[in-house]
Amino acid sequence: MPAPRRCPPWAMQFFSYETPKSVVVRSWVVGATHRAVQLLILAYFIGWVFLHEKAYQVRDTVIESSVVTKVKGIGRYAGRVLDTADYVTPPQGTSVFVVVTKQILTEQQEQGLCPESEAAFRCRSDRDCRDRSPTSGSGLLTGRCVPYNGTLRTCEIRGWCPPEVDTVDVPIMLEAENFTLFIKNSIRFPLFGFEKANLPPPGAGGDLGRCRFHPQLQPLCPILRLGDVVRLAGQDFRTLAATGGVLAIKIGWVCDLDRGGERCLPRYSFTRLDGLSRATGYNFRHARYHRCQDGTERRTLTKAFGIRFDVLVYGHAGKFGIVPTLINAVAAFTSIGVGTVLCDIILLNFLKGAEHYKARKFEEVPEVDMVPSPGSPTAPAPGGLGLCPRDKQSTDSGTFSLGH
């Protein structure tokens, strides 16, 4: 009688099926580890994911915002009294504006020929001027070396004369420290149709004009003193006013709409934006033109140093949603299975008797043909495997209880 035909190894592996097997291990070490990991996972999902991060909410991170600003204060500079129209630019009250604290004026400039004022353009002869770039910081070089004063000679330029001298020491407007800034901010979260402003609602009481922002005493007041803004940004006002700088006023709207819209309140914070730059400071130039009676066009050039304020609005809103709640709940219950994986690693690799546990957990069961009765002539012989005979069989019910 010919020997039964065996299946090739690759076919036996490909056409195999794995099913979970329940093995109860009575071990304090493994049991305590299993429960501890489950408790840690539940604590993480309940404490952090659901309570802290509010993963049960639908989030709207698209915030629509409008900002209107207004600066008030009177200062003195160079013998003149200045108001808002003199030191605030642009004057439209946008979310980005500059308060000018120091100015270098070059008056009565007109088009013509004159010696360059920069020290880098000092010369002894015309040859020194011809070997340079055709332009300077103030105009076009003519190639001539001309007297600048009684002792110095510099290259001649064609442009606005006399050229600017920006190395002079000028005072700062100290009154700017007490100027006030009023910020009106309106926001909207389009997903929920929720709108809010940083101003108290009509009829709420209280004198809005008299309040001043304070991070602890009056954190919701929309009127801020410029000196306080600079201080809360970690800067010194005199130093910043002398060199100029860029500060950010950040308004954060982080709203939990499940608690009610009245509890959606702004939070103000302050920082300097150009502090890490090598070229710290902020200045710009602008000119005012006029025409003399003889028809000559002249201008007053101003190099202005100031503090630029950027009002930045950010935030998000959340509200309960059944979909994110179900998704995170399923993720929580699924993650509890990590405890089983960890305990299997400990049980099968590190505990005494690991080989015994492996033998109980992993078992190969051969395929058995359905037979009508043990004495039937069509029944397979003991150890028969149908089409692909094997050498082992199992009569195990599928559940073990192992003592440790």
pLDDT over threshold 70, residue 386: no
Output the CA–CA distances (angstroms, integers) from residue 216 to 98, 210, 212, 220, 270, in the order listed.
27, 17, 11, 9, 15
Q: What is this structure's pTM? A: 0.75
Instruction: Work out the mean pLDDT of the chain and round it to a whole number.
Output: 84
State pLDDT tens for residues 283-312. 999 999 999 988 899 999 999 999 999 999
Q: What is the per-residue pLDDT for 187?
A: 96
Contact 213, 222 (CB under 8 A): yes
Q: What is the per-residue pLDDT for 368?
A: 61
State pLDDT tens for residues 40-71. 999 999 999 998 889 999 999 999 999 999 99
Residue range 130-141: mean pLDDT, rounded: 88
More confident residue, 37 or 307: 307
Q: What is the per-residue pLDDT for 207?
A: 73
Q: What is the per-residue pLDDT for 339?
A: 80
Q: What is the per-residue pLDDT for 321?
A: 92
State pLDDT tens for residues 174-213. 999 999 999 999 999 999 999 999 987 765 556 787 889 9
More confident residue, 164 or 355: 164
